[in-house]
Chains A and B, each alone.
Chain A
Amino acid sequence: MAASRRTTRRTFLKTGAAGLAALAAPRGFGATPDLKLKKPIKVGCQTILSGPLGGYGEFMRKGAVLAMEEINASGGVGGSPLELNFRDEELKVDVGVKNARYFVDDWGADFLIGIDSSAVALAVGEIMPTLNKILIVTHGATEKFNEDLVYKKHIKQCFRICVPVYQDGIASAFIAKDLPVKKWATISPDYEYGHTSWKMFRATLKRMKPEVEFVGESFAKFGTVDFSSHISKVMGAQPEAIFSTEWGGEAVTMVKQAKLFKVFEQTKAFMIAMGSAMDVLQGLGADYPDGVWASGRYYFGYPDTPQNKKFVETFRKRWQSYPSYVSETSYAALYAIKKAVEKAKTLEIDPVIAALEGLQVDRPAGPCTIRKEDHQAIYAVPWGRIKHDPNFPMPILGDLRVAPTDEYYRKPPFPPVEA
């Protein structure tokens, strides 16, 4: 526990310094030079906008719109204004592929961003060479996207600006190793994301703390409205702690039902990898049990830098809500596009890809580097414990802990995960 605290402080100081440096840099200094690119630059964004997980898409849209408004107010991208278009991904592979084709072939998109589902991210990623546009994923988290599609199959058009399942499956184990529990179980989604996170969590935790046991698991289908049978199955194995990667409205339902089944009284720890997403914090409100460990792909209270504070304030003024993590990732994606295009001084694919590789982006979540080998953005996101603070309209995270990115981001050549 002491070790992780120490890293927290170090990372914190580092990011704080970088944040200040970013602020000192000539941001919005004069008008952006006119690169005489095509006008406007079109960005197609697809995200989940309906159903039990639809809250995510709303937050993603708000972050992207905010970035577009800021960028356009200060001269656009190389003198060209940004134009956004949104479509509902419905978390369906066929819909996702159709949306991507529509954006590029019919609407004339220059860039694609968004995508919540891992399966959709993989399917759209596969067709990016045909469409030959750059895709920046802002949510879908499967490691297969950067490890297989980009690193192994060399699909260079694919990028990801959000932290992948390393946050859910590896950074989580850095927290879990210090908790006074040995018997773990999971209730997680029955698709790529849920299975892969649980596998990474088991592998990492077992390596750091060999005495742990994994006593139960239940995977719920997409669209589950009643987790009762999953909860009773897992609790039947008498775990001391629950690890879950349920998200959005399904996480809200699961926590409500777990409370009814007195799971929080019967276990000593509960972790929800995407539990600090704003729609979960707001959706559960006062019902969110104190002390649940939660994380996301950005948390509005971290890092404590002027740049992050400014983003949170601007977002609140614009949308009357705190930003969720997908708001930050879509915001960061548009700024990454701006920076890369202005560096490449063209919209041609290859130079822009080259500009994105290794690019440093100073985003609200802190400074990040887009790794050249697998086109994955590297930055740190904290885990923390749910607490209720009267100064905030929703529960927030306390006791923030950050694992060092160097240890929790898997690295090329990406050895197989053994669990």
Chain B
Amino acid sequence: MGRVLLFQGLVGLTEAMYLWLVAAGLSLIFGVLRVLNFAHGALYMIGAYLTYAVFRAFGGNFWVALLVGPVLVALIGWVMEVFFLRRVYRADVAFQLLLTFAFVLILDDLVKLVFGPVYQSPPTPRSLSGAVMIFGSPLPTYHLFILAAGGLVALGLWLFLEKTRWGLLVRATAADREMARALGVRSSRLFTGVFMLGAWLAGLGGALSIPVRSISPGMGELIIIEAFVVVVLGGLGSLRGAFIGSLAIGLLHSYGIVFLPVFELALAYLVMAAVLVVRPWGLFGVREA
């Protein structure tokens, strides 16, 4: 029984990785730009579709598609930030929500127009369709790959924020936007860069999902809701919070299916509510003065 439960946890952690990639970008963008990007789930969806399109165009090479797809999503992020979002930074939060929600609708319909309303199901790359025995059960190689990819992204983001000059500027701007600007940080370029990075992360999540999940319009709405829960739970703007929050929601989901199947959907929200009662700023968030 113990081994079965450990295995169940491991499976939950792989599901958490997709969530982490979306939540990381969402949290990063909020931390720096102070915009709650409703369209982040749509970017995840676009990432899946563009990667699939590249996959088909390049004769079914998943690895090429995985490199190209998320970069295309980052470029869409550039268009969104430079031509649209930039105009509403000073506006009321309601305008930001309206604008990003408009992107959800536009991108959803665009996908329906181009790829059709019906789901697509690309094949799993042969090199990753094996399985490895862990805790007495076969865990798909692809799931191990997802765990590694999610972990690498976490490590990469940490190194970037802590060890590079750009990372320092990002942290400074997130901590005190006015002060950073006064000290000469060119915030408009920084904002564009951060938004593109966030879009790339969501696109990567979508791209990684296509070999095992089916893709369909509206797939972004499912994940954005969970990503919001993660970000609120972990603390808005905190990457560490997004990481721990994703793992927590992934495990809750996976153990919920075993122990509380009737209640599994509500579980994540209950935990979020409980955390918010005790720490309204989230597990790793910073208390607003």
Residues of A within 8 A of B (CB): 49-55, 58, 190, 218-219, 221, 223, 225-226, 228-233, 235-236, 248-250, 252-253, 256-257, 259-262, 266, 279, 283-284, 287
Contact = CB atoms under 8 A, between A and B. Distances in A.
B121 A252 contact: yes
B138 A262 contact: yes
Contacts of B212: 226, 253, 256-257, 260
A58 B11 contact: no
A362 B231 CA distance: 58
A249 B121 CA distance: 8
A216 B2 CA distance: 17
Interface SS majority for chain A: helix
Interface string B96-138: 0000000000000000100001110101100001010000011
Contacts of B119: 51-55, 248-249, 252, 283
A225 B217 contact: no
B273 to A, nearest CB: 20
A50 B221 CA distance: 14
Nearest to A217: B261
A218 B255 CA distance: 12
B112 A50 contact: yes
A52 B213 CA distance: 10
Contacts of A49: 117
A54 B143 CA distance: 27
B142 A260 contact: yes
A260 B142 CA distance: 8
17 contacts: A51-B217, A54-B118, A54-B216, A225-B219, A229-B253, A229-B254, A232-B137, A248-B119, A249-B119, A253-B214, A257-B140, A260-B129, A260-B212, A261-B139, A283-B121, A283-B214, A287-B123
A225 B222 contact: yes
Given A253-B213, A260-B212, A262-B138, A233 B257 contact: yes
Contacts of B261: 190, 218-219
Kindly state the interface size class of chain B when it binds its partner: 35 or more
Nearest to B10: A232
Interface in B131-180: 131, 137-140, 142-143
Given A218-B261, A260-B212, A261-B131, A228 B4 contact: no
A283 B139 CA distance: 24
Interface string B3-18: 0100110011011001
B265 interface: yes
A55 B257 contact: no
B274 interface: no
Contacts of A284: 121
Contact of B121 (A226, A233, A256): A256
- 3 nearest CB pairs, A to B: A260-B140, A249-B119, A236-B4
B37 interface: no
B192 interface: no
B51 interface: no
B53 interface: no
Given A52-B216, A249-B119, A250-B214, 5 more contacts: A49-B117, A50-B218, A221-B265, A229-B258, A249-B214
Given A55-B118, A55-B119, A236-B137, A260 B254 contact: no
A50 B139 CA distance: 32
Contacts of B238: none
Contacts of B123: 287
B246 interface: no
Interface in B216-242: 216-219, 222
A229 B15 CA distance: 8
Nearest to A257: B212
Nearest to A49: B117
B27 interface: no
Contact of A260 (B7, B131, B217): B131
A414 to B, nearest CB: 27
A58 B143 CA distance: 33
Contacts of B142: 260
A232 B214 contact: no
A53 B8 CA distance: 28
Contacts of A250: 214
